[in-house]
Every structure is written in C-alpha cells, then in structure tokens.
Amino acid sequence: MKLTLPRLSRGLIIAVVLIVVLALLPVIGAPKSWLLYIFLFFLYLAMANMWNLLAGYSGLISLCQAAFIGLAGYTLAITTWLGYPFYVGILGGAIVCGIFALLISYPVFRLAGIYFAIGTLVVPEALRMVFFLWRPVGGELHGGGAGYMVKGVTAISMSEIYWFALIIGIGSVILMRMILRSKLGLGLAAIRDNTDTAASSGVDVFRIKLNVFIIGAVVTGLAGAIFYVYQGYIEPISAYNIRWTMTMILATVIGGLRTIEGPIIGTIIAVFLHFLLARYAGISLLVQGVILVMVMLLVPQGIVGYTRETRIYRKLSQLFSWRRGNSP
C-alpha cells in the first residue's frame, strides 16, 4: 500500500515550494524584467482579491478602489516629505484608507446595486480634483497637478520592493481563505444568497459589508503604497485613474468571480495585457473593455468556473483527492 499525503498537506507543500522559489528569484540573479512582471503580478493579485471579496462575495460592485490607491500613495509621499521612513508611510497609507472607507461607507451604503457602483465611481474623480488644487506639503511640484516625488526610496533595491509585493500578494490569498472560513465568511455567504433573508435571520448586513469594505480598502491601500515606493513619484491623474479598477475587474472576471483561484489566473492575464497594451495607451482601456464584455458574454463563470466543468479539472481533483492512497 502506497503512502500518500492528505490533500491539504500535498497542496500546502506545493504552495510553500513555489513561494520559496519566487522569494529566491532576486537572490539567484533573476533578470530585472522577471522581477518587474512578478512584482506587478503580486500587487494586482492583492487588489483583485479584494475586489473579488467585495463584488464576488459581498455583492458590492465598488468602483472607488483607485481612491484608496491614490490616498495611500499620497500618504506615503507626504510621510517621506515629513522625514519619516517609507515603511511608516506604507502603514500610514493603509490606516488612512481604512478611515476614509469608514467615512464614505455611510453615504454610499445607502445606495444599492447600480446606484452604489455609480456613487463609488464619483469618489476617485472627486479626490483627483482635490489633489489637483491642494499642495499637501508645499515645495516644488513635479509635472502637472500636485505631483510629488517620494523621498528616500531611491536607495531601496528592486529586491526589497519585490519582497514587499510578494508578502502583500501571498498575504491577500491567505486573508481571503481566513475570511471565507470565519463567521464573517458565513455571513457573506448568507448575504450573497439573499440579503433580505439574511437580515431577517439576524445577520447584521451593514456591519458585515462595512468590515469587508474596510478590509478591502486597507489591503488595496497597502498594495498601492508599495507600487509608489517602486515608482517613486505620484500625481493625481495616474493615482486616481479608472485603469486601476479596470485591472481589478478584468483579473477577477476573467479568472472567475467568487473563486480563490480565479484572481490568480486572471491576474496573470491582466499583467500580460498590461505590457502588451502599454504601447497603445490611447486605446488600452477600450481593448480591455471589449475583452471584458466578450468574457462576460462567452464565459460568464470565468476560466476557473469553466474548467471546473471539464474533464481536465476532474482529473486534477482526483490527483489531490483523499482517496488517492487507495489507488494502485
């Protein structure tokens, strides 16, 4: 009789080995282009996971994620201008995003469905106008609007920034699993099935959605702050751009909404499209929009949802099955 590992242990070992290999890439001298691709993958993955948590598991079609990225980036810049280390700015950006999410939750949560989406879409546009007019720390502006350099990050190596992204990306996957297996996850499942029934059964719908909204804002803000540590410069147009939200939606919908694996697969495609369409900046949003519509029409369940119905997925499931040990 062959000895085999349980499903959880086998999958965990594979995941740990993969994470170790990815973490060692800067040490073994991997090309900088590889590090950049994987760096963006982990940041986009964290953002996509949070949008999946909001839209897929909570029913909150939030279009204000760019607001959290911009706020975190500006908090980082302001903090470094005040003489604090960049990591203080990263944590400060996450805290600011959490507080901001709490403040805007009360008005936007009064809206539902498409009205909630439109209400949240206005938020980053309003912040972009504010930061066009406001000079947070004075001094010389760089470029159009209230653009600022992030001080003290030029000495940070690409390896260190890469590891920050790795931590936030892997951490977002672990966080998703923890949430979905907790009481909060049970509440989300009830709300997703039927909000009115969940409320009548004693589920505090507002509190659960508020918690998820704040968690999504904090993690998205962390990812945004790490991006601006890499970029070293922030200005309103790119910080509060709808492209951020489009990337999250694209990665989640292509991979598969309401799945753990979906954002991982979708983010790989999103990073590929990011570099492929970089030279076509004027029409990149149009192309991404067309791709998104085609996916929603042809494969509404996403790649993961579609493959779960195929023979290949069943074979892979058998590979990691608890009953594998009884096979010859």
CA distance 108 to 272: 34
pLDDT value at residue 325: 44
Listed residue (40, 45, 47) closest to 219, CA to CA? 47
pLDDT value at residue 186: 87
316 in a structural domain: yes
Predicted TM-score (pTM) of this structure: 0.88
pLDDT value at residue 282: 75
Type of residue found at 112: A
Listed residue (119, 101, 102) closest to 110, CA to CA? 119
Helix-helix angle 205-231:65-81, to 10 degrees:
50
pLDDT value at residue 244: 94
| DSSP notation for 153-220 | -TTS-HHHHHHHHHHHHHHHHHHHHHHHTSHHHHHHHHHHH-HHHHHHTT--HHHHHHHHHHHHHHHH
218 touches 97 (CB < 8 A): yes
252 in a structural domain: yes
167 in a structural domain: yes
255 touches 264 (CB < 8 A): yes
Alpha-carbon dihedral 181, 185, 186, 189, rounded to 10 degrees? -120
Question: Tell me, what CATH number does 317's domain have?
Answer: 1.10.3470
Give the start-end residues of each E strand in the chain.
Answer: 148-149, 233-234
Residue 147: phi, psi to the nearest 5? -85, 140
Tally of domains in the chain:
1
Cβ neighbours for 153, distance < 8 A, ≥ 6 positions apart: 80, 86, 229, 232
Containing domain of residue 75, as a range?
Answer: 7-326
Residues of the chain scoring pLDDT < 70:
1-9, 135-146, 309-328
Type of residue found at 33: S
pLDDT value at residue 193: 72
2 in a structural domain: no
CA distance 63 to 48: 12
For 312, which DSSP code? H
1 in a structural domain: no
Helix-helix angle 158-180:7-24, to 10 degrees:
160
Residues 93-129: tens digit of each pLDDT: 999 999 999 999 989 998 888 899 999 999 999 999 8
